[in-house]
Amino acid sequence: MDESTKDQSAFASPDSMASLDFAKMALESANVGIWVMDAESRNFTPSDRTKELFGFASHEEMSFDDAVSRIAEKPRQAFLSIVDNAFKLRTSFYAECPVVIPPDRKTEWLSVTGGFNTSDKTNNYFSGIIVNITEQKQNDLRRSKFIGIVSHELKTPLTALKAYVQMLNTWAKKQKDNFSLGALSKVDRQVKKMLNMINSLLNLSSAEAGKIHLNKQAFSVNDLIHQVIEETMFVTSSHNITIDECPDVNIIADRDKIEQVIVNLLSNAAKYSGKDEPIEVACTIENNAITISISDKGMGISQEDIEKLFLPNYRAETKEIEKIAGFGIGLYLCSEIITQHNGRIWVESALGQGSTFSFSLPL
C-alpha cells in the first residue's frame, strides 16, 4: 500500500477499506486522480495519479497550495473562490482549469470535482476526482475557431441585407405604403435577430480563444441599467421589471460588454419565468465594488446545474427547458466578460423558487 493510500485509510472505517481500495484501483486504471482534504486543517492527500496530473512525481510531497500554484495565474483566484464557497455552503463543486506543467511549461486542462463524503455536518473530509480533459478542450477550441470563421462569413451578407431593408423602408415611407412598411419592419426584426445570434457565436469564439477585447471607458451604471430596462420592456412587455434606486456612480469598463451581460440576464429572467411574474433589479455598493442583481420568480435551478451553469454550451436537461430556445452560451459569455473585468458572477437559486443572478465590478 503506497503512502497516499495509507493516508486515505485514516479517513475511512475498517469496514470500508476493501471498497475504498477497489474504488481506488478502478479510478486509477481509468487515469482518474483522487484526493481527500480536511476542510478545517486543509491537510491534503492526493493519489499518485493526482500528483502526476499536476506535474509532480509520485514520491514528491504535494500540498493543496502546491497544486493550486500550478493553475494558470488568471483563473487561479476563481478556482479558489469556487472551492471556498463549497466549503462554506457544504456543497459539491465542479471546475475546469488550465495547469502549467514544468519544466517546458506545457498547459494541460483538468476537470476537478469535489464534495463532502456525507451530509453529516461533523464530517470535515472533502474528497473528489481529477480528470485530464486537454483533448476535449482542444477539440472545443477547433470547433470554436470554425464557428468564428463561418459566423464572420455569414455576417457580411446579413449586414448588406440590413442596409437594403433600411433603404426600402425609407422609400416605403415616402410612398406611404403601409403594407410594405409593416413587412419590412418584420424583415428588419428577423435580420437583427440573426445578427445577434451571429454576434453571440463570434463572442463565444473570442472567449474560448481568450481574446475578448475590452474598450474601457467611464460611464454611469445607473444610466446603463435604466436604458437596458427600457429597451427590454419594449421587447418583453409581458413582464413587470422594477429597479431599486441604483447609486449614481461611474465605473471604468467596456460599456457595450456590460450592457450585453445585463441584457442577457434580463432576457433569461423573462425567458425562464411565467408571464406577468415580476423581475427585480437591484444595485449595492460594498468593499469598493458595485453589485448588480437580477431576480425572478421563475422555475429555479437545481444545485447540480448551478455548478456547471457558466460552462460553455451547458444547458440544464429538464422538460421545461427543452421547450425554450437557446444555445447555452449566454451565461458562459457573461462569466468571461465579468472575469475579464476582474469581477465576479454567481447565482442563488432553488427549484420552483426563482433565481437571483448577481455580478460585481470594481469601482
Contacts of 68 (CB under 8 A, 6+ apart): 76, 79, 80
Q: Which residue blocks in the chain are alpha helix, DSSP H?
A: 3-9, 17-29, 48-53, 64-69, 73-89, 134-175, 178-208, 221-235, 255-271, 303-306, 319-322, 330-340
Task: Give exposure, 86-104, as e/b (b: 16+ Cβ within 10 Å).
Answer: bbeeeeebbbbbbbbeeee
Contacts of 302 (CB under 8 A, 6+ apart): 316, 351
> What is the per-residue pLDDT for 55?
93
Q: Report the C-alpha gap between 167 and 161 in whole angstroms.
A: 10
Q: Where is pLDDT greater, at 2 or 102?
A: 102
**Candidate ranges 129-138, 151-160, 203-212; pick with highest mean pLDDT:** 129-138
> What is the per-residue pLDDT for 10?
41
Is the pLDDT assigned to residue 12 strictly greater than 60? no
> What is the per-residue pLDDT for 180?
86
Over the stretch 217-243, which tens digit does the pLDDT of each residue have?
Answer: 999 998 999 888 887 776 666 677 888
Which of 116, 132, 148 is at the close of a domain? 132
Over the stretch 309-344, which tens digit does the pLDDT of each residue have?
Answer: 887 666 665 555 544 444 457 788 888 889 888 899
Whether residue 221 sits in one domain with residue 203: no
Q: Which domain holds residue 349?
A: 216-362
Mean pLDDT of 123-131: 85
Task: Give exposure, 302-321, as e/b (b: 16+ Cβ within 10 Å).
Answer: eeebbbebbbbeebbeeeeb
> What is the per-residue pLDDT for 24?
57
Whether residue 187 sits in one domain with residue 230: no
Secondary structure (3-state) at 103: coil
Amino acid present at 316: A
Whether residue 300 sits in one domain with residue 262: yes
Please tell me the total count of domains within the chain.
3
Which of 103, 132, 161 is at the close of a domain? 132
What's 315's domain CATH number? 3.30.565.10
Whether residue 325 sits in one domain with residue 259: yes
Which of 132, 148, 175 is at the close of a domain? 132
Whether residue 273 sits in one domain with residue 228: yes
Whether residue 142 sits in one domain with residue 128: no
Residue 221 vs residues 224, 252, 256, 259, 337: alpha-carbon distances, Å: 5, 10, 12, 10, 16
> What is the per-residue pLDDT for 116?
84
Whether residue 238 sits in one domain with residue 180: no
Mean pLDDT of 244-249: 82
> What is the per-residue pLDDT for 287?
85
Whether residue 157 sits in one domain with residue 71: no
Whether residue 352 sits in one domain with residue 228: yes
What's 87's domain CATH number? 3.30.450.20
Mean pLDDT of 243-272: 86
Whether residue 192 sits in one domain with residue 316: no
Kindly give the interhelix angle for 178-208 and 330-340, rounded to the nearest 10 degrees. Answer: 60
Whether residue 231 sits in one domain with residue 314: yes
Whether residue 356 sits in one domain with residue 230: yes
